[in-house]
Structure 1
């Protein structure tokens, strides 16, 4: 083992700074790193050794030598450590173990109603998470962090759900505390649509700094990425577009107590209710998707109208945040172009051309995996942050000194 007893003094501005450079995955020599950081090679070597002891970086194949001894290159070891991504839905639970780039190693899904309460649902998370770690051959020490998405507002600072309308028994529940008690790693919790925005951007739009991810399923919400940063708002409810009133909603009651909210007229259950009134067998958003896929005319027309209703609200959102891309996800997005065509129809007719000249409106490429992928990215951002790397280096130095 290398002598790392002097690493503690380097933590705040040393190893973590070096690690942030290597996060892009590109291999670099010690000389390149020294030039980038303006430091002596000996100092850079010490910091590399600290990160190697943590298992975060390693040597890769030698570069072509220009004479003399070839230079070794150092790069991120993305598979050395893992995180857990957890997507908790109204009636499902998805858990995945991923490497430090967000690439999935193992995943699983279980049907469970969120109304069963936090201990039942989080107990299932613990069970599935431990099972996935075993299946991927990972020890508990390989796990760096856990990201969790829940279908309701979250106080981001504490990770506690705040008055979630479809999550009885969850208000103020210490979700991070429960999971940290079983896995002994940091736990990050956010609204499900926010993490979907992170997942979709990482998977398909890494070079886009202004993006809206719109989930249309049992509920409707939007994750807002502006200037490259996820926007949560002062109380964590930024993007709650499901409770904006839609004109011509025929006084449809919403679970929030108001009428004609977007969710009450364009969500999966709302469209299913409209079709049920026409005599069709439709109870859920999945039933709507099935009817559209079978070519049912009434279902296609209802989905197209739901798209128009969503487009009405998005027209105002575009004028406020001017996104380059709007990604449509959730179960209703599985109806394909019928739904998205309705959105485009209204957006492009009601929004100024200046705001839509480069706008793309597209279906999610991640599909139903967007949430669990985003939860993994949330965990990775925290696990690989300068503060966490500093803490890991200091912890390693303390353990060696002890």
Structure 2
């Protein structure tokens, strides 16, 4: 079916995502007049966003000139803030990483020191890439807590003390460009979809210090009314033995308090395992340690009970697990699959895929870059920029 829009921004999107590679294909795709398409393509070429390459196959007349997106028409900064780490990358406008840097931090140090360090790393990676502040077209930031997407301000984040309502975009005002801030799981979900995107319904579940879920509806992040969709870490999970575990949010028996990274470490220490960090528990399980394997599998089963309810409600094509605990791989997946396939309705689970991310360490930075790119190259934003 032909697209209803033939604006310059829409035409750029079609070329950028590979849907069209020539003026003729854009005309066929949009149903717009050839002169209209040609004029808008010329605008995009003049603005440096499109460029002409070689010749395509002829269908009888002169071979068409091929169009391609100029991913070098600027760069974006991708900032991935975790509870215990900060990673910053500079990418081109196709989210290809040019340079990156990062190290351990404590998010509880507060927005001042943490964002100052993120900005310092941003300057460092720009210098490494031979780029300047003026080359930055947008900044994307992922943070480990609920965010009001329209303002870029965290809202009562349970594991980010001192961050409530902080205007994160202001920390990057030196770049004089749009700054987009979102929950880290939504950002990771974008990263999992990749540059080409998808038209599927997908749940991207991060299991790290906290537990969250990025909800992808027909290829786009679904944020809900205020931006808190997918906060599954604080869904209540009843315990068969009646025990109550206090969560950092103040409630008891939240999924995060029972199966997150902190819970895994707590239960491992209680079982007398020789561990100091959650990563130690994961590595012990990877070495085949029986008690560690059972703890990881049990965490998977607990997570799976919540995911089963989501599968029945949302009926996704697939579920992708990411985050530090997800690096446990097969034992965690085994527990999740056991609970999901046992508790989901047969139709909902019939063709459901449950996998671990192929690049859990990278998806946060790639997703932050894609968020920035998509914001900068949004159809309306492109049209307004060309009008100016």
Q: TM-score, normalised by structure 2?
A: 0.92
Change (3 A) 1:31 1:230: closer
- Residues 89 and 365 of structure 2 are in contact (CA less than 8 Å); yes or no, is this contact kept in structure 1? yes
- Residues 55 and 81 of structure 1 are in contact (CA less than 8 Å); yes or no, is this contact kept in structure 2? no
Matched, 1:63 2:56: yes
Give the C-alpha shift of residue 68 in structure 1.
Answer: 8.0
Change (3 A) 1:311 1:28: closer
Aligned to 2:218: 227
Give the C-alpha shift of residue 25 in structure 1.
Answer: 3.7
Aligned to 2:365: 372
- Point out the more displaced range, 101-110 or 361-370: 101-110
Aligned to 1:399: none
- Residues 144 and 186 of structure 1 are in contact (CA less than 8 Å); yes or no, is this contact kept in structure 2? yes
| Structure 2 CA distance for aligned equivalents of residues 90 and 230 of structure 1 | 22
Q: How many residues are matched?
A: 382
Change (3 A) 1:17 1:169: same
Counting only pairs closer than 5 Å after superposition, residues 76-115 of structure 1 correspond to structure 2 as 76-115=69-108
| 1:85-131 CA-partner distances (Å, limit 9, x unpaired) | 11100110111122222222222212111111112111112111122
- Residues 26 and 75 of structure 1 are in contact (CA less than 8 Å); yes or no, is this contact kept in structure 2? no
| Structure 1 CA distance for aligned equivalents of residues 69 and 357 of structure 2 | 29
Matched, 1:329 2:322: yes
| Structure 1 CA distance for aligned equivalents of residues 28 and 60 of structure 2 | 20
In structure 2, the gaps of 5 or more residues are: none
Task: Determine which of 173, 180, 183 is the counterpart of 1:188.
Answer: 180
Name the SS of the counterpart of 2:194 in structure 1: helix
Matched, 1:270 2:263: yes
Matched, 1:236 2:227: yes
- Point out the more displaced range, 274-283 or 13-22: 13-22
Give the C-alpha shift of residue 331 in structure 1.
Answer: 0.8
Aligned to 1:6: none
Q: Which has the larger radius of gyration?
A: 1
- Residues 198 and 218 of structure 2 are in contact (CA less than 8 Å); yes or no, is this contact kept in structure 1? no
In structure 1, the gaps of 5 or more residues are: 1-11, 396-402
RMSD: 2.2
| Structure 2 CA distance for aligned equivalents of residues 294 and 38 of structure 1 | 59
- Structure with greater contact order relative to length (CA < 8 Å, sep ≥ 6): 1
Aligned to 2:190: 198
Counting only pairs closer than 5 Å after superposition, residues 32-71 of structure 1 correspond to structure 2 as 32-38=25-31, 41-64=34-57, 71=64
Q: TM-score, normalised by structure 1?
A: 0.89
Give the C-alpha shift of residue 374 in structure 1.
Answer: 1.0
Change (3 A) 1:261 1:54: same
Aligned to 1:210: 201
Give the C-alpha shift of residue 164 in structure 1.
Answer: 0.8
| Structure 2 CA distance for aligned equivalents of residues 323 and 68 of structure 1 | 46
| 1:269-321 CA-partner distances (Å, limit 9, x unpaired) | 11111111122232332121121122221111111101000011111111111
- Residues 153 and 167 of structure 2 are in contact (CA less than 8 Å); yes or no, is this contact kept in structure 1? yes
| Structure 2 CA distance for aligned equivalents of residues 218 and 211 of structure 1 | 22
Give the C-alpha shift of residue 389 in structure 1.
Answer: 0.6
